[in-house]
A = this chain, B = another copy of it.
Amino acid sequence: MSDERNGQSAGRLVARGRVPIGIVSGGGGLPFAVADAAARRERRAVLFALSGCADSERVASYPHHWIGLGQVNRLCRLARQENCEDLVFIGTVVRPTVRQLRLDFGAFALLPRLVAMFRGGDDHLLSGVAAFFEQRGFRVVGAQEVAPEILVPEGALGRFQPSKGNRSDIALGLSLLHAMGPFDVGQAVIVAEGRVLAVEAAEGTDEMLAQVAELRRRGRIRSSGGVLVKAPKPGQDRRIDLPTIGPQTLAGAAHAGLAGIAVVAREVIMAEPERVTQVADRERIFIVGIRPDRIERDE
């Protein structure tokens, strides 16, 4: 993205670079990573920090407004005031209590979609949220468009590399995720020694990892090692729902006795990449960004 001032679309990009980006910010470090990436590109970022979710200490160092999860009209009004034509939705959202929601009039129609959007829900709901804000004149952009550095790059991130057996499990996992694509199921599976140990659905990645750890503890899974394979769903709206991994995912994989984690390179977001790499090296597991076309060629 260092070519923002070069090339055919330079005029448009420079103009857009002067337009502030609105970052609707949930919990975790990703909203700040996106804001910092925008700053590196000389683009002003304004955080619309979600009360009860965003880290208030860190929010204070950025231009920001606090909003309730239910304050959709307020968000639209503030974003217009700040000349934010583009909105990014990023960060985790804990299921709020009704009191925390502070619903405004616009929120009633959108509320279930908003909650689903932040928690990883149904593709149709997510597209609905994007459409809602686009009808109100905003452009919903993926965090990775503003900050491509938050995506997992190709190759191993830490000291450890997948073995030949791991690569075979990764290929199997990718094929299974691909086959399940039309069904809007989860974005992750766990494969060990050619057997599928777990398929993510409503429980989410962390719980799936915890369950495999528990089955292993009880001797219900005889194989050792294994790989967590994570990929976006084929039809997914990549602006607002790319899969994410972070230090917690690594810790969960280690606890489940896995050999490593493989994600589709440049299509999965990574929170706190330095800590991810640290935890991976300490736990002696690999974390690798793969290109599905390349891994299949190895078979």
Contact = CB atoms under 8 A, between A and B. Distances in A.
A7 interface: no
A112 interface: yes
Given A122-B195, A199-B201, 18 more contacts: A95-B219, A175-B183, A176-B180, A176-B185, A179-B179, A179-B183, A180-B199, A184-B195, A185-B196, A186-B199, A196-B201, A197-B202, A198-B201, A198-B202, A202-B215, A202-B221, A204-B220, A207-B215
Contact of A172 (B183, B201, B211, B219): B183
Contacts of A220: 95, 202-204
A265 to B, nearest CB: 23
Interface in A59-107: 95
Interface residues of A, number: 33
A130 interface: no
A242 to B, nearest CB: 20
A235 to B, nearest CB: 14
A286 B129 CA distance: 36
Nearest to A199: B199
A218 B112 CA distance: 17
In the A-B complex, the 5 residue pairs with the smallest Cβ-Cβ separation, listed nearest first, are A199-B199, A197-B202, A185-B196, A176-B183, A198-B201
A204 to B, nearest CB: 8
A207 B198 CA distance: 12
B184 A196 contact: yes
Nearest to A196: B185
A93 to B, nearest CB: 13
Interface string A207-241: 10001100100011110000000000000000000
Interface in A152-193: 172, 175-176, 179-180, 182-186, 189-190
